Amino acid sequence: MRRIIVAALLVVSSSSAFAAMDKGAHDRFVARCQTSMYMSGAQCSCMAGIADKKLDALAIAYLSLDPLDVRNSAAMSKQMTGKELAAVDNFMKTAPHQCKGAR
Angle at 54 between CA 88 and CA 30, to 5 degrees: 70
* Separation between Cα atoms, residue 8 and residue 1, nearest integer Å: 11
Tens of pLDDT, residue by residue over 61-78, are 999 999 999 999 999 999
Residue 18 burial by CB count (10 A; 0-12/13-18/19+): exposed, middle or buried?
exposed
* Residue spans per domain, the chain: 2-98
3-state secondary structure of 8: helix
* Separation between Cα atoms, residue 77 and residue 58, nearest integer Å: 9
pTM above 0.85, yes or no: no
Widest pairwise Cα distance in the chain? 40
Tens of pLDDT, residue by residue over 12-65, are 444 444 457 999 999 999 999 999 999 999 999 999 999 999 999 999 999 999
